[in-house]
Amino acid sequence: MDLSDLSDLRHTLRRNKQEAEMIRVARAATLGCCAVVLAACSSGGTVTSESALTPAVAPTTALAPPPTTVSSTSGAPPTTLGQQQQDEAEIRELHARFFEVINEIDNPPHPGDPSLAATTTGIERQRLHEYVESLAESGQHAEGRVSSTIIELRFPDRDHAFVRVCTASNSVRMGPDRRVIDRDRGGTWVTGLEVLRTADGWRVEDWLTGGDRACTP
């Protein structure tokens, strides 16, 4: 084969390759147009260049982190410093109200005074009720005052408290004819209040009045 034949062959092969490329491009364009038309027909809409060619992007939603729950690993109910401070404040208020009741229920005596139930429980309520009832039945009453100052407040457990107090009294028990029947020893001495947490709040369960230890209010 001479050079002229080789040149003619190269020209023929180049032309055939160009024609094949043109046919491939035309076929791809035709298939693309058919796909666009079919998509528009299936959706019932009108074909536009932007709506047909722009791919749909699925929205992304950021998932919020789940809430964190902190649970106690202890079987006992939680006791915080705030709760103890609240208990102390309530017991100090109870201490003041209790001694107000002591000074009011026996001059004149009021056996059914509701303040007894609001400040006492158990044996102390029974003891004070019987004392005031006996005064009323005998026509007696008491004069003078009992005062108290807190020395110490502590909690053996969450439902009990002990209040050590310095007590002073100049109370006198008087008969119907105002004759003195009995009087407190005077001076100051240490007494104690056993306090109980009830469903209605803190109450004095027992007032321990014995002992001869002097104190300074």
Model pLDDT for residues 147-175, shown as the tens digit of each residue = 999 999 999 999 999 999 999 999 999 99
Residue 216 near residue 195, CB atoms below 8 Å: no
How many Å apart are CA 100 and CA 147, to the nearest integer? 9
- Residues 175-187: tens digit of each pLDDT: 999 999 999 878 8
Q: What is the mean pLDDT of the chain?
A: 76
Q: Which of 106, 149, 144, 151 lies closest to 127, judged by CA?
A: 106
H or E element at residue 143: strand 141-143
- Residues 41-71: tens digit of each pLDDT: 444 444 443 333 333 334 444 444 444 444 4
Phi, then psi, of 140 in degrees rounded to 5: -100, 170
H or E element at residue 155: strand 146-157
* pLDDT given at position 71: 44
Residue 208 near residue 191, CB atoms below 8 Å: yes
* pLDDT given at position 24: 58
How many Å apart are CA 19 and CA 26, to the nearest integer? 11
* Max Cα–Cα distance, the chain, nearest Å: 162
Q: Which of 192, 205, 208, 210 lies closest to 125, judged by CA?
A: 205
> pLDDT-based confidence at 216, cuts 50/70/90?
confident
Mean pLDDT of 16-24: 56
- Residues 187-211: tens digit of each pLDDT: 899 999 999 999 999 999 999 998 7
Helix (H), strand (E) counts: the chain: 5, 7
Task: Note the pTM of the prediction, 2 decimals.
Answer: 0.62
* pLDDT given at position 48: 40
Classify 82-208 by CATH class: alpha beta
Other Cβ atoms within 10 Å of 56 Cβ, number: 5
Residue 134 near residue 142, CB atoms below 8 Å: no
Residue with tokens 């919020």: 64
How far does CA 155 lie from the centroid of its chain? 22
